[in-house]
Amino acid sequence: MSSSRSKRSKNSSSRNRSRSRSIYKSKRSRNSSRNSSKKYHHTKTNYNDKNERVIKIPNDILYLIHITKDKNTENWKQVNSNQEDASQYPGAYFTLITKDNRLTEQLYAGNYCLIFSRNLLKKTNYHINVTDNNGFITENNTYFPENLKEAVEKIKENSSLCGIDEENSWKSNDKCMNEVVFHDAVSMDYLCMTIKKGFDNSFLPDYPIEK
């Protein structure tokens, strides 16, 4: 009898240990699943945060302009990226107009000035060269959306060196032309107005424009 009890006791103990291991594995599996779920959710949140950054537009920014020789801009659906020009960084090119450089910025060749909403800068697929460099990204000249405020400050600094001199011609200075290069085509939905380009920059509106 004692032998039989001993066997039953051993069997019972073995079953308990087996159950205990099974419960432990089950808990560990559930915890692992929860941790995995949390990890994935955390990663997803970071990904969204990175790609949905809120760009704060400095008050000094008025709008962006695109100069063209084409008078039929009403037929445009977008400002295309110049993918085929090897001498320039591929992209759609604009000039950033601020309170400080409105009258001093040297504009690109063309007869028509397309004025785009400053809200275009809330996108994240662009870079700014504070001086013309055919769009190419270089140190101390290129700024990105997260450095928009610094770019505006640098453009303000450069604007003091630019403008029209006493002989009624543009001062020869490579710091008088900035470029905003969008890496994809830009929709005409952001277009606010089209005006004829004048001899000097006084034709440019002196107030913020957005849409």
* Cβ(143)–Cβ(130) below 8 Å: yes
Longest CA–CA span in the chain (Å) reads 122
User: What number of other Cβ atoms are within 10 A of residue 134's Cβ?
Assistant: 12
Q: Is the pLDDT of residue 43 over 90?
A: no
Dump pLDDT digits (tens) for 106-141.
Answer: 998 899 999 999 999 999 999 999 999 999 999 999
Q: Is the pLDDT of residue 20 over 80?
A: no
Looking at the chain, how many residues does it have? 211
Instruction: Kindly state the average pLDDT of the residues 57-66.
Output: 98
Quote the pLDDT of residue 88. Answer: 93
pLDDT band at 59 (very low <50, low <70, confident <90, very high): very high
Dump pLDDT digits (tens) for 141-167.
Answer: 999 999 999 999 999 999 988 866 655
* Cβ(67)–Cβ(113) below 8 Å: yes
pLDDT band at 170 (very low <50, low <70, confident <90, very high): low
List the domain boundaries for the chain.
1-52, 61-203
pTM, entire model: 0.72
What whole-number percentage of the chain has pLDDT above 90?
60
Cβ neighbourhood burial of 173 (10 Å; 0-12, 13-18, 19+): middle
Q: Is the pLDDT of residue 98 over 80?
A: yes
**DSSP states of 50-84 as a string?**
HHT--PPPPTTEEEEEEEES-S-GGG-SEE---TT
Instruction: Kindly state the average pLDDT of the residues 15-43.
Output: 43
Quote the pLDDT of residue 172. Answer: 54
Quote the pLDDT of residue 86. Answer: 84
* Cβ(93)–Cβ(177) below 8 Å: no
